[in-house]
Amino acid sequence: MAIGSKELTSTELDTFEDERLVEELRKAKEELFNLRFQAATGQLETHGRLRAVKRDIARIYTVIRERELGIRATPVVEAAPAKAEKKTKKKDAAPAAAETETEEAK
């Protein structure tokens, strides 16, 4: 997803987890810094980009604050299914069995 684009809507931000929102905010602030630097040195070609990035930052801050206040629901994180344990090789199983026997004897 591109920062400062029309694709970044508040409905799309609703689907992001808190960590991803913070990451997107960091990227947007970094891009805003670079754009301001380019504007100061006269290298900026598209001045509308500054406005778009500022609006994206405001949208992200709004979503974060609304979640803190309970106005907007935080997306539910689905737990990944547990992976099956890998079968141990016969070579590895023998030393492991010997270790458990010695621990039980203690």
CATH number (domain holding residue 22): 1.10.287.310
- In this structure, what token pair is assigned to residue 57? 């930052």
User: In whole angstroms, what is the distance from residue 47 CA to residue 52 CA?
Assistant: 9
Is 90 domain-assigned? Answer: no
User: In whole angstroms, what is the distance from residue 103 CA to residue 106 CA?
Assistant: 5
* Residue % of the chain over a pLDDT of 70: 65
Highest mean pLDDT among 3-7, 70-74, 85-89: 70-74
Is 17 domain-assigned? Answer: yes
- Is pLDDT above 90 for 28? yes
Range of the domain at 18: 1-76
This prediction's pTM: 0.66
Is 102 domain-assigned? Answer: no
Based on the structure, what is the number of domains in the chain?
Answer: 1
Q: Are 69 and 75 in contact (CB under 8 A)?
A: no
What's CA 38's distance to the chain center, in Å? 27
Residue 75 confidence (pLDDT)? 80
Residue 68 confidence (pLDDT)? 92
User: In whole angstroms, what is the distance from residue 41 CA to residue 49 CA?
Assistant: 16
